[in-house]
Amino acid sequence: MLNQKICVLYKELRKKHGLPQDQWSLWCARPKTVQQREAVIVGAILTQNTNWENVEKALVNLKTARKLSLRSIVSLRLATLAQLIKPAGYNNIKARYLKNVAEFFVRQGGVLKLKKQTEAKLRPQLLALKGVGPETADSILLYALDKPMFVIDEYTRRLVKKQRLVRNFNYEFLQTLFMNNLSKNYKLYQDFHALIVIDQKFQMNGQNSVLSVRPRENIKSQDFL
């Protein structure tokens, strides 16, 4: 029953928007290079309560300074790191978070090594890091490590509310809901979640229509990779 509804929702989003593009070309890239995986991790921290446009500026700063890799972030001073990521806001607190996460990944032998572990084992370890809550942990698992963990964010909740799928908006509950009603496939989860965000933003601009979306000069993922 619900199974049908969620599957249909995905198909409709695909029909409406196609595959995720533009800002999502980094997150949904397949396969990903190690550098892309690391950029996803950095982006996942920087985008907390912050729009992606500003995160991109911070990523460009890091790339230009050749400090985008997790190894180089570990060796950066907090004040320097905070200066580089300033456009993404909350720079002091996020600099600390970034170093926490980067130190963890480097200490554990890098992204490819951690990618070999199961999500069940990894998730608690990520959640134990200061600066990593449920959404950030699952974003890293899904988009950086190709683990089938569905990401629940504010846009997902809006969709659930509008569609009246359920009335409980608890994180774990919604995550289980989506995962129990979809095949356990990280590619599906990546595209589905991206399309949810794309569609909700699309509807926010939607006082007018598609044509009114102003063509902002967008930074491509190549700019910081």
Residues that bind DNA (CB under 7 A): 23-24, 27, 44, 47-54, 57, 86-87, 89-94, 129-137, 139, 143, 151, 153-155, 197, 201, 216
Q: In angstroms, what is the minimal distance from the CB of 201 to DNA? A: 6
* Residue 75 or 92 having the CB closest to DNA: 92
Q: Which is nearer to DNA, 135 or 191 (CB)?
A: 135
Q: What separation in angstroms does the CA of 150 have from each of 76, 84, 138, 146, 183? A: 32, 31, 7, 11, 11
CA quadruple 190, 150, 140, 89: dihedral positive or negative?
positive
Q: Taking the CB of residue 57, how many other CB atoms lie within 10 A of it?
A: 16
CB of 44 to DNA, least distance (A): 6
Q: How far apart are CA 178 and CA 88, in angstroms?
A: 30
**Hey, how many other C-beta atoms are within 10 angstroms of the C-beta on 175?**
18
Minimum CB distance to DNA, residue 106 (Å): 19
Instruction: State both tokens at 21.
Output: 């593009």
We find the least distance from the C-beta atom of residue 27 to DNA, in angstroms, to be: 6
Residue closer to DNA (CB basis): 5 or 206? 206
